[in-house]
Amino acid sequence: MIALLARDLRLAFRAGGGFGLGLAFFLIVSVLVPFGVGPEAEVLARIAPGILWVGALLACLLSLDRIFQLDFEDGSLDLLATAPIPMEGTVAVKALAHWITTGLPLVLAAPVFGALMSLDERGYWWIFVTLLIGTPALSMIGAFGAALTVGLKRGGLLLSLLVLPLYIPTLIFGAEAATRGIGGFDNATPLLMLAGITAASVALLPFAASAALRINLR
């Protein structure tokens, strides 16, 4: 499984595009929103957690079809399916690889982009924490969506449509936790719900995703 993880990471780094794409998209969102909304610091600071969360979500969405599509096309997914590690493990590792290449850079970069959106220090911290807790759920839910649509020629649009409603609870709790934290309110409830979604997704969705993959590989 570690070998598989290393392979996926290597592919993502060397193929180019995959690694930087999400980050570049995130940058575009953070730079463009102030032009659209206006440069007032108070307004920007107020909408910053929402914008950063939506940006992270869309950046994540952008790279989802890479999780299984290439492996499906060149046949290595068939090999992985017949490999001694269970399919659920493969799915989990691939979601993890997606998170490391897409989610983790976003988490690390979010405070920097938060500066563009005139957040204060507490804002950096809460954006960092909520994204760190929430993005694994985004990757895992996305992996499920990617597993459903892997056999399709043009699955990209469909994948977005399928994953969009599945992302809503994560977005609500994530953005809410960040907003409340920045405002100095008690945000334990949304934070725990966010952590719960991540934990449940990581625990249960590999089974659903691998069921979908097995159907698609049949």
Partner 1 sequence: MPEMHRTKQARDRYNVLWEWANPVKFMWFSGLALPWLVGATVVTMAVGLVWGFFFTPEAVNFGSSVKIIYVHVPSAMMAISAWFMMLVASLIWLIRRHHVSALAAKAAAPVGTVMTIIALITGAIWGEPMWGTYWAWDPRLTSFLILFLFYLGYMALWGAIEDPDTAADLTSVLAVVGSVFAFLSRYAVNFWNQGLHQGATLSLDKDENIANVYWIPLLFAMAGFGLLFVALVFVRTRTEIRKRRTHALELRERMADA
Q: Is 25 in the site for partner 1 (CB under 8 A)?
A: no
- Taking the least distance from each CB to partner 1, the nearer of 11 and 211 is 211
Q: What phi and psi, each to the nearest 5 degrees, are found at residue 166?
A: -70, -25
Per-position x/- string for 141-180, each x denoting binding to partner 1 as judged by CB under 8 A, each - no binding: ---x---xx-xx--x--x--xx-xxx-xx--xx--x----
Q: How many CB atoms lie within 10 A of CB 94?
A: 26
Tell which positions 186-205 bind partner 1, by CB under 8 A: 189-190, 193, 197, 205
Instruction: Map the footprint of partner 1 across residues 107-146, applying CB under 8 A.
Output: 144
Are the C-beta atoms of 110 and 127 separated by less than 8 Å?
yes
CA angle 200, 205, 209 (to 5 degrees): 175
Answer for the pair 127, 164: CB distance below 8 angstroms, yes or no.
Answer: no
Output 27 or 196, the one with its CB closest to partner 1. 196
Q: Are 65 and 155 in contact (CB under 8 A)?
A: yes
Q: How far is the CB of 141 from partner 1 (least distance, A)?
A: 8
- Closer CB to partner 1, 23 or 156, in the complex: 156
Distances (CA, A) of 77 to 24, 71, 157, 195: 29, 5, 22, 30
**What residue ranges bind partner 1 (CB under 8 A)?**
144, 148-149, 151-152, 155, 158, 161-162, 164-166, 168-169, 172-173, 176, 189-190, 193, 197, 205, 208, 211-212, 215-216, 218
